[in-house]
Chains A and B, each alone.
Chain A
Amino acid sequence: MGLVKADGKPAATSKPSPRKYTRDLTGLLAELNDQQPKARRWAARDLVAYGEEAVGALCERLRTEPEPSVREALFDALLAIGGDAVVEGLIPLLRGEDAGLRNGAVEVLGQLPEAVGPRMEVLLADPNPDVRLFGLDILRDLPHPEAPRWLMGVLEQDPHVNVVTVALDRLAEVGTPEMTPAVRAVKDRFPDEPFVAFAVDTALDRILGGE
């Protein structure tokens, strides 16, 4: 039976254990590197309150975080913070070898149209075709009025067959009939590539079928 104090409430048998970390920015940044995934998850969530001040640490943690649930919390925190610092922190992840990180970055960036918009032309002109493809993946979800113009630019200029066919796939969703001459012209740029011919015909069907 537990001890009962004179006022009838149970007496504490020991002092509460002191918090391992303070609940300020310094403490939460330390907790973000705790050995326990649960602690790292909570730190990520609580760091949202510190906005841009926490972005660098959250992005840095993403690069080494092995636990999927913590990664998810880190991405959720970055999405909740949003803004230029998050976009600048996530774009370098697109160049990494970790598909999960790249796709997580794409999903967050696709929900930040105001901050991503001014950087899209740079992404779509990157020397690395894989980065240009991730730019197009971001565009898939990005509600931005400039999207059709960016996609037309890819159709007209990009030299890589996979980049162009993904742009055709995206343009099929947002394109309008006046864009069809530019879509047809893609076949002339890749005359020996059957996938391009198929992608052009499919895009035309989808654009004109949506009239």
Chain B
Amino acid sequence: MRRALIVDDAVTVRLYHRKILEEAGFQVEEAENGVEALEKALVTPYDLLLVDVNMPKMDGYTLLREVRSTPELEGVPAIMISTESEKHDREHAYRVGANLYLVKPVRPEAFRLLAALMARNGESR
């Protein structure tokens, strides 16, 4: 079963994305901020990271920079998902290593499909 890590400081957002990803067949874990996410990602091989931008302690951009500069994590697919829809937000996300940038709120059907397409196949590792 593929594993996904949801990184967001809002409980409601984590629960919503968890529900959608579990319906898509993912085993889901959660982190409230970038620091907690990094600690979890270093010990658990995730097939997909779902990362918010604005979070306390470590924001999503910093988290992705850290992920992409860490050899064990650099290849993990990452979707950045934010309330911010400006062009510079999207560009910033791709510059720090996001594979896809989505604007909240996501539509469940499209999100399930995109997550499945983006994720690594957990069985191949």
Contacts and interface: CB of A to CB of B under 8 A. Distances in A.
Interface stretch (A47-55, A57-65, A159-167): A159-167
Interface residues of B, number: 26
A130 B56 CA distance: 16
B83 A172 contact: no
B88 interface: yes
18 contacts: A99-B53, A100-B61, A103-B56, A107-B56, A137-B9, A165-B12, A168-B12, A169-B10, A169-B12, A172-B12, A195-B16, A195-B105, A196-B105, A198-B15, A198-B19, A202-B11, A202-B15, A202-B16
B54 A134 contact: yes
Contacts of B89: 97
Given A99-B54, A100-B59, A169-B10, A130 B83 contact: yes
A162 B54 contact: no
Contacts of B83: 129-130, 133, 162, 166
A202 B108 CA distance: 17
A196 B107 CA distance: 11
A162 B56 contact: no
B13 interface: yes
B105 A162 contact: yes
A166 B16 CA distance: 13
Interface string A167-182: 0110010000000000
B101 to A, nearest CB: 14
Contacts of A130: 83-84
Given A99-B62, A166-B10, 19 more contacts: A97-B88, A99-B61, A100-B61, A100-B62, A102-B54, A103-B54, A103-B56, A106-B56, A130-B83, A140-B9, A165-B13, A169-B10, A169-B13, A193-B105, A195-B105, A198-B19, A199-B16, A202-B15, A202-B16
A172 B15 CA distance: 13
B16 A137 contact: no
Interface string A11-43: 000000000000000000000000000000000
Contacts of A162: 83, 104-105
Contacts of A198: 12, 15-16, 19
Contacts of A168: 12
Contacts of A10: none
Interface residues of A, number: 29
Contacts of B77: none
A169 B11 CA distance: 7
Contacts of B54: 99, 102-103, 106, 133-134, 137
B118 interface: no
Nearest to B107: A194
Contacts of B10: 166, 169
A99 B51 CA distance: 14
Interface string B102-121: 00111110000000000000
Contacts of B13: 165, 169
Nearest to A198: B16
Interface string A144-172: 00000000000000000110011011001
